[in-house]
Every structure is written in structure tokens, then in C-alpha cells.
Structure 1
Amino acid sequence: MKKYVGIIALFALVLQSFTSKPNTEDYFITKPNLSEDPVMQQINNGKLVYNKTCVACHQINGAGIPGAFPPLAKSENLNTDLNNSIKQVLVGSKGPKTINGKKYVVPMPKLALSDQQIADVFTYLYANWGNNKAVVKPEMVKAIRKRVL
């Protein structure tokens, strides 16, 4: 089992290494319409970022892959410590992590996303899968980026 988890993890990291710094325009189907609900626009844009950047490891339903990639659905870590979750996207993580009482062994690489993209993807995550409905602003991400980078 460990062998398969390791192979899956290696494959995911190899795929991630082929991703160059994304162009912000690649993530938006249309430019935001100021008459639309800005939170819904963030959720829609965040879904695009998630599907392009996160889905391979965390899966389309946010359930992750047992033993390898943690769930984002009903995630105690995500719902209780937004700052740490943003930091993990910005700088990555090493070593095993315990999420919802289960151990996950695959490290997460840092992601080359803008403050707006990170805010959008977290707003999408929080709006779905039993998470706490928080809205994340780019200014929050920018403040954390200044502290950790």
C-alpha cells in the first residue's frame, strides 16, 4: 500500500512540476461583471482555479486520496485555521500531516498563484463540501504572503 501511495504522490508532484506560473487570464472565463454578486464571482473563479490546480490531488469532490492527499471537504484544519491554510499554499509543506484524525504523507508543493487566485480558490472551498462559508479577500492573502515570504 505504501508503495502505491508513494507512486501516486510522485506522479502528482511530477505533473505539478510541469506547470509554469499560471497566467491570471487563464483562470477567468469572463471579466467580472460589477452587477453580479462579487462573492459568487469569487466562487466561480475559484472553481476554475481549483479544477486547474488542485483537483488532481484533492479530487473533484474535495475528498482527497486516503493516506496521500488530505480532504478539503469538512476539513477541520481548513475550517479552523485559515491563515495556516493560506500559508501552506504559499510555501508548501513537508512531512506528514494529520487532518481530521488521519495521517497524510505526501508533501504539498508551493503554488504559483496570485493573491486574487488564492482568495478565490479558498472562497470556493469554503462555499462547498460542508465547510464554513468564509469569504477570503486578496488583502488577507497579501498580508500572510508578506509575513511568510
Structure 2
Amino acid sequence: MKRISAITLMLLLAFVACNSSEKKEEVTKKKSVKEVKEKQNPELVASMKRGKDVYTNFCVSCHLPNGKGVINTFPPLAKSDYLMNNRIESIKSIKYGQSGEITVNGVKYNGVMTPLGLEDNEIADVMNYITNSWGNTNDELITEKEVSEIEQ
């Protein structure tokens, strides 16, 4: 009986150790991907940091800290097909506001987003942040110049 318990304990410890090393490896991979990205485009990283502050001050109350929004009320930004496939329209929504029906991840939204009064550089920064957060990936830097050229 003691032998069986000892074997069971050893197997359990081996499993925990393996599982723990896999998690450490996964965390290391995530860190190394982030470090590579930071080294590749420091301008994007700086913009995203500023954009996070803009998001926290202007967007978080509707779209939430996790970017998931509120179903049928405020569309998600996390893993958002609309955001990632409609760059100009997304910039326009932040710059000029949004009304009318849009479909995000298969769900229809028909609310109103008022203009936030942000400067073009703030819009570029928040777009860089949201298009690179919560499962979104965008290596193409959104610039103040690009935002300034978008008209209503």
C-alpha cells in the first residue's frame, strides 16, 4: 500500500513539474514575442502606451477594461472583425462619432457613439493600442497624418 502511495505521489509530482515547465515555457514565448515586437517597432510600442492612457480615460466605460464591450449595447473591440477589417471606418468612429447599424463578430449594434473630442495624434495612439490588444494584431502603424487625412 505504501508503495502504491509513493508511486502515485511521484507521478503526481512529475505531472505538476512538467505542467509547470510548460506554463513557464508559454510565458517565456509570450515575453519573447513581445520583446521582438518592441525591438522591431519602438514607435508602435510608444504609441500603444500613450493609446492605453487615452483608452483608459475615454473608452473604458463603454468598451470595458478587457475590450469586450457590452453585448447588444457597446460593440467589442477584443478580437473584433469590424475593427480589424474596417480601419478607416473605425478611425472615423473615434474622430466623428458613430451612429447607425454595424455588425461586429456577427452581432448587430445600432447605438450612438458621440465624438470624443480627441486630437488626431490621440486617435492614432488609441487605434494602435486597440488594434494590438485583446487578441488583435496590427503591425501597420496608424499615424497622426493618416488620421488627419480622414474626412467625415
TM superposition score normalised by structure 2: 0.69
- Offset of residue 97 of structure 1: 2.3
State the match for 1:107 in structure 2: 112
Q: How far apart are the structure 2 equivalents of 1:101 and 1:125? A: 19
State the match for 1:60 in structure 2: 65
Code of the aligned partner of 1:135: L
Q: How far apart are the structure 1 equivalents of 2:85 and 2:147? A: 16
1:45 aligned counterpart, secondary structure? helix
- Higher mean Cα deviation, 78-87 or 132-141? 132-141
- Aligned residue among 126, 130, 140 for 2:131: 126
State the Cα RMSD in Å: 1.5
Q: Would you say the 8 A contact 2:82–2:103 is kept in 1? A: no
Q: How far apart are the structure 2 equivalents of 1:123 and 1:91? A: 18
Deviations 1:18-68 (CA, angstroms, capped at 9, x unpaired): xxxxxxxxxxxxxxxxxx922211111000000000000000010000110
Q: How far apart are the structure 1 equivalents of 2:88 and 2:101? A: 19
Q: How far apart are the structure 2 equivalents of 1:96 and 1:85? A: 13
State the match for 1:73 in structure 2: 78
Structure 2's unaligned 5+ residue stretches are 1-40
State the match for 2:148 in structure 1: 142
Deviations 1:70-103 (CA, angstroms, capped at 9, x unpaired): 0001111110111010111122122332211112
Q: How far apart are the structure 1 equivalents of 2:137 and 2:82? A: 11
- Offset of residue 131 of structure 1: 1.1
Q: Would you say the 8 A contact 1:46–1:124 is kept in 2? A: yes
2:65 maps to 1:42: no
Q: How far apart are the structure 1 equivalents of 2:72 and 2:87? A: 23
Q: Would you say the 8 A contact 2:50–2:125 is kept in 1? A: yes
Q: How far apart are the structure 1 equivalents of 2:79 and 2:137? A: 8
Q: How far apart are the structure 2 equivalents of 1:63 and 1:139? A: 29
Larger radius of gyration: 2
2:108 aligned counterpart, secondary structure? strand
Q: Percent identity?
A: 39
Relative to its length, the structure with more helix (as a share) is 2
Q: Would you say the 8 A contact 2:73–2:109 is kept in 1? A: yes
Q: How far apart are the structure 1 equivalents of 2:86 and 2:101? A: 18
Q: Would you say the 8 A contact 1:126–1:135 is kept in 2? A: no
